Chain A
Amino acid sequence: MVIEVKATITGNVWKIVKEIGDTVDEYDVIMILESMKMEIPVEAPQGGKITEFKVKEGASVIEEDVVAILE
């Protein structure tokens, strides 16, 4: 099953903390966005394996943008 990981807020991708192929659990932080002077983590909505990043560090994202794909 393919799971889309979405940005929870509009901002910039500050740090991608996981790599493609990493296995994650629900609530694991995949990347961190920077918005309103806050560091906003993007968490795995459920457990899985990261197969793709849709953004690079420094990219700007809009709320609800798909930023990574889990399987």
Chain B
Amino acid sequence: MTEIDKSIHPELERLHSLRAISKHGGGPDKIKRQHDRGKLTARERLDLLFDPNTFYEIGILGAENHEKPDADGVVAGYGKIDGRYAGVVAYDYTVKGGSMGQVGEEKATRIREIAMKSRFPMIWLSDSGGARIDPKSGFGASTDTDRVALFANTGYLFKEESLMSGVIPLVGAMLGPGFAGTAYIPGLSDFVPMVKGKSFMGLAGPALVKMAIGEDIDENELGGSKMHCEVSGVGDLEVEDDAACIQVIRDYLSFFPANCDLKPPRKEFSGDPLALIEDQIATIVPDNTREAYNMHRLIKLIVDDKFFFEMKPRWGKNMITGFGRIGGYPLGIVANNPMSYGGVIDINASDKAARFIWLCDAFNIPLLFLSDVPGFMVGSKAEKDGIIRHGAKFIHAVAEATVPKFTIIVRKSYGAGYYAMCGKAFDPDLIVAWPKGEISVMGAEGMISIFARKALEEAPEEDRAGIVSGMADVIKPLLNVKMAAAKGYIDDIIDPRETRRVLFQALEFTKDKKIFRHPRKHGVYPV
């Protein structure tokens, strides 16, 4: 961009100097403190987020006091990410702790409206003390009745964000604190990356928690990145620093269309998408069904350039969810993880998979299911946790999804786990198995314990194991997918090395897939 000559007219000089005031944020001292904390300023983050010279700031002249212009705690605008527009609200911690005042609210509202009308993604870079409790420009902390009453006319953000969901991609990145109301920004977003050790979120911060319920807890334990990415599941990805956070936002959005009416963008791919995968993929799955293996390694061999963008990698680890590409086409992957509890589907695994499927379906991203699942979790703990409603949520999401769906039975696929991992009844556009695949209502041992219970009870204790293993030897071959393939229930059994080729063709032939459903407002979601 060419430098603008600011001196040709005093009015223009004044305009540019006003802009410069805003660009200074909280001033050198506050900026230094922000850097000392290992954090970037809002504007530095925006420089990394957008393609060079594409960011246009709206409301830069916004000031609480027009006679004494100053920077605001919110920077809003739009710019291009890999050539496509996205809107942003970046909280500037160097200005009054990034708190939200009246002007900030106006700006944030304006960019939200623009993003929604023009239908491009919306990104929040949160680093904020929350609503500004300040007598001059905030929402309260004053005996001025007008100020206190202001709050009654706020909250539009959360309603609007809810209504934006599924229309345009929403990213709620946490780069600093986000307590109280601001915590619902990530809560209502599709994707929530969190900077390690520096970001926090909670419906109330430590001081309010202490006041309300007497609990002594620091912000890290209450709502730190580790807690949310490993325990609560509210965070999607814990990242090392601000730059890494911005990078994952760019990577994430590269899989998405700008809105729900568009197809996800195909990335240029220089290799041959029909080429066979290297031989090692054929030896990853062990013969012994009790032996676990690395599903992540398997996924990386299937996707382009081994690039797998995983969502919630440290939460609900028995279910793997994330994005990859085949021949440049984006693909959402849902896979069981035998390394974690044998890949059993519990409440968190159900929740994680259901949400991911809704996300992909909303934005026309085809789904790949890699099934190696012993079934849903059973037992009194699982029932008390509500495994039925969580499991129902997963099944509901798979059934409802109209995007192209591809199922690969990698190894076992038992019980309702087979259904949820997009079994035949759930209309997969392709359902194939690898040679070690098994489809069954349950594993051989489970079946024997039921139908041979009487025989086992009557047999002497020392003979029981022998009886079970003898019967299992007879039953196991019947579970193999050869039977399902012979009856035409599945499309094929493939050589694992053919997996990319088969999926690439499926991605191509389903490009114009259309499904019509009974009209309804929406399902009654089991959640």
Q: Would you give the shortest CB distance from A27 to chain B, in whole angstroms?
A: 6
User: Do B339 and A40 have beta carbons less than 8 Å apart?
Assistant: yes
Cα separation A43 to B296 with both chains bound (whole Å) = 12
A27-B294, A41-B292, A43-B294 as given contacts; A36 in contact with B341, CB under 8 Å = yes
Chain B, range 123-144, C-beta contacts under 8 Å to A: none
User: Do A8 and B342 have beta carbons less than 8 Å apart?
Assistant: no
Q: Would you give the shortest CB distance from B273 to chain A, in whole angstroms?
A: 25
Residues of B within 8 A of A8 (CB): 339-340
Q: Is A17 an interface residue (CB 8 A)?
A: no
Residues of A within 8 A of B344 (CB): 36
Cα separation A21 to B339 with both chains bound (whole Å) = 26
Q: Would you give the shortest CB distance from B404 to chain A, in whole angstroms?
A: 31
Residues of A within 8 A of B342 (CB): 36-38
A27-B294, A41-B293 as given contacts; A9 in contact with B341, CB under 8 Å = yes
Cα separation A27 to B293 with both chains bound (whole Å) = 10
Chain A, range 12-49, C-beta contacts under 8 Å to B: 27, 35-41, 43
Interface of A is mostly: strand
Residues of A within 8 A of B338 (CB): 38
Q: Is B210 an interface residue (CB 8 A)?
A: no
User: Do A39 and B290 have beta carbons less than 8 Å apart?
Assistant: yes
User: Do A38 and B297 have beta carbons less than 8 Å apart?
Assistant: no
Per-position binary interface string of chain B over residues 328-348, scored 1 when its CB falls under 8 Å from any chain A CB and 0 otherwise: 000000000011111010000
Q: Is B512 an interface residue (CB 8 A)?
A: no
Chain B, range 246-300, C-beta contacts under 8 Å to A: 288, 290-294, 297
Q: B291's closest neighbor in chain A, by CB?
A: A39
Cα separation A36 to B89 with both chains bound (whole Å) = 46
Q: A41's closest neighbor in chain B, by CB?
A: B292
Q: B292's closest neighbor in chain A, by CB?
A: A40
Q: Max chain A CB contacts within 10 Å: which of B291, B292, B341, B344?
A: B292
Residues of A within 8 A of B339 (CB): 8-9, 40-41
Residues of A within 8 A of B340 (CB): 8-9
Cα separation A40 to B317 with both chains bound (whole Å) = 14
Q: Would you give the shortest CB distance from B484 to chain A, in whole angstroms?
A: 24
Q: Would you give the shortest CB distance from A51 to chain B, in whole angstroms?
A: 23
Residues of B within 8 A of A39 (CB): 288, 290-292
Q: Would you give the shortest CB distance from B436 to chain A, in whole angstroms?
A: 16
Residues of B within 8 A of A37 (CB): 290, 342
Q: A34's closest neighbor in chain B, by CB?
A: B290
Q: Would you give the shortest CB distance from A35 to chain B, in whole angstroms?
A: 8
Cα separation A27 to B294 with both chains bound (whole Å) = 8
Q: B445's closest neighbor in chain A, by CB?
A: A37
Residues of A within 8 A of B294 (CB): 27, 41, 43
Cα separation A35 to B291 with both chains bound (whole Å) = 10
Q: Would you give the shortest CB distance from A65 to chain B, in whole angstroms?
A: 15
Q: Would you give the shortest CB distance from B231 to chain A, in whole angstroms?
A: 13
Cα separation A43 to B339 with both chains bound (whole Å) = 11
Cα separation A9 to B343 with both chains bound (whole Å) = 12
Cα separation A39 to B290 with both chains bound (whole Å) = 6
Residues of A within 8 A of B341 (CB): 9, 35-36, 38
4 tightest Cβ-Cβ pairs between the two chains A and B: A38-B342, A39-B291, A40-B292, A36-B341
- B residues at A contact (CB < 8 Å): 288, 290-294, 297, 338-342, 344
Q: What are 21 A-B interface contacts by the 8 Å CB criterion? A: A8-B339, A8-B340, A9-B339, A9-B341, A27-B294, A27-B297, A35-B341, A36-B342, A36-B344, A38-B291, A38-B292, A38-B338, A39-B291, A39-B292, A40-B292, A40-B339, A41-B291, A41-B292, A41-B293, A41-B294, A43-B294
